[in-house]
Amino acid sequence: MTRFASTTSNLRSSEIRDLMSLATKPGIISFAGGMPGNDLFPIKEIDEIYNNLSLTEKQLAMQYGPTNGLPTLMESLSAYLKKKGLPVEKNRILITTGSLQAINILAKAFIDPGDSILVENPSFIGALSAFKSYQADIIPVTLNSDGISLTALEKAINKAPALPKFLYITPCFHNPAGYLYSTSLKHELIQLMAGKNIPIIEDDAYSDLFFHPEDSERLTPIKAINPEGIDVCYTGSFSKIIGPGLRLGWMLVPPHIYEKCELIKQSFDACSPSFTQVLADKFLRSGAIYTYLDTVRKAYKTRAEAMFSALEQHLPAYVKWEKPRGGFYIWLQLPEGADATEILKKAIDKGAVFVTGKTFDPEGKKNNCLRVSYCNTSPEMIMKGIPEIAGAIREICG
């Protein structure tokens, strides 16, 4: 009998990944994946960048690179992050193969089997899977519309059998809930965590995809506040702001944490793709990133507003939800005891898919919620598919 490592016993297939096969079937309208719209990728700009590369640059792009990232991309990304107010000078950047690798590296750096960690509930399935793979004891903390519950967080810290190794949060346009932390809650969180020797992993893949410029203060990362007495490990990605096919992310972390993470990165894949690093660097340096972001923000806002309209028109009054102010997702909360899996079965029969709530529950139990994403679906398909999901909800919940 094949003998697998004990760490593999905690691995489970992501329901999102399983649903992706359905999304490709003819006639299925998918609200499942958190993917940028295929029609929105900056193909023309990337073509122009590649066609204007010198022979030397193309040769560099085909070669292995330094573990921490190509120096040119490190420089342009530093400038980009500095413009967002992040404390680049006091920290180190590590280029990773997607932001999930950054989270995975940090998990490996901090977690020994059985260690307690703190996460929001609900939480990003990719991060949960990474934490489970290192056999963490995951402590879920209630998430409210303005951010993590500080009362529940303090109680969780005090009740933990040992000091938790870190707190993992997604303050900007949360996946799956779509929430944006309030400025006041961020400062209260900093006060609560200061001096506790519990690092914060701040996952930020969506803050550039805001709908309302007046939210600029709320969009300030905790890392940019640069709190004293807390190690904040900030992760980001090019997946949502250029394209996930680049497979490029990053972490911005204190030097003493960076040293461990670079060694771990070496053991994972030695270096991230040089080819896409060259493209990302040129995209940043040319300023195309800012023009492109202006375009996709408008497109995602249009899609989000189409979904707002469809939900308001078709959902039963007992379904609770809030309009996100950016990002990709809306979180629908059903009455207690409702089973989103049964609703999903009905919805698939009607030609639409979404992701059930238990996928994002650290304990894999609470299933009276569901995530719908508008990012990869046209307004016309949104107006066609949401009534089918609403119909499925009525059939199951009444």
Dump the DSSP string for 187-240: HHHHHHHTTS---EEEE-SSTT-BS-GGGTTTT--HHHH--TT--EEEEEESTT
CA torsion, ordered 201, 204, 205, 210, to nearest 10 deg: 160
How far is the CA of 40 from the CAs of 13, 30, 35, 327, in angstroms? Answer: 29, 17, 11, 15
Which of 168, 63, 148 has the alpha carbon at shortest distance from 106?
168
Task: Give me the residue label for tokens 């500080």.
Answer: 150
Which of 153, 158, 154 has the alpha carbon at shortest distance from 169?
153
Distance CA 169, CA 105 (A): 16
Distance CA 215, CA 211 (A): 8
pLDDT value at position 46? 97
Please list the residue range(s) of the chain that carry CATH number 3.90.1150.10.
6-42+290-397
Strand segments (E) across the chain: 29-30, 92-96, 116-121, 137-144, 147-148, 167-169, 200-203, 232-237, 249-253, 329-333, 352-353, 355-356, 369-373
The CA-based diameter of the chain, rounded to the nearest angstrom, is 65
pLDDT value at position 398? 84
CA torsion, ordered 339, 345, 350, 355, to nearest 10 deg: 70
Q: How does 127-144 read in b/e, with b if 16+ C-beta sit within 10 Å?
A: bbbbbbbbebbbbbbebe
pLDDT value at position 26? 72
pLDDT value at position 22? 60
Distance CA 119, CA 167 (A): 6
CATH 3.40.640.10 fits 55-287, yes or no: yes
Please list the residue range(s) of the chain that carry CATH number 3.40.640.10.
55-287
Q: Which residues are within 8 A (CB) of 159 and not within 5 positions of it... i.e. 6 or more apart?
A: none
Compute φ and ψ for 201, nearest 5 degrees: -95, 110
pLDDT value at position 132? 96
Task: Give me the residue label for tokens 């879920």.
Answer: 140
How far is the CA of 258 from the CAs of 64, 101, 269, 324, in angstroms? Answer: 21, 14, 16, 33
Distance CA 229, CA 245 (A): 37
Distance CA 111, CA 10 (A): 15
pLDDT value at position 23? 54
Distance CA 365, CA 386 (A): 25
pLDDT value at position 1? 83
List per-block mean pLDDT (blocks of 10 residues) for the chain, which spans 398 residues: 76 60 74 93 97 97 97 98 97 98 98 98 97 97 98 96 97 98 98 96 98 96 95 98 97 98 96 98 97 97 98 98 98 96 94 95 95 96 98 95
Which of 364, 366, 384, 365 has the alpha carbon at shortest distance from 374?
384
**Range 6-42+290-397: architecture per CATH:** Alpha-Beta Complex (3.90)
Establish whether the linkage from the previous residue to 176 is cis, with ω within 30° of 0.
yes
**Alpha carbon 334 to its chain's center:** 23
Report whether 68 contacts 94 (CB < 8 A): yes
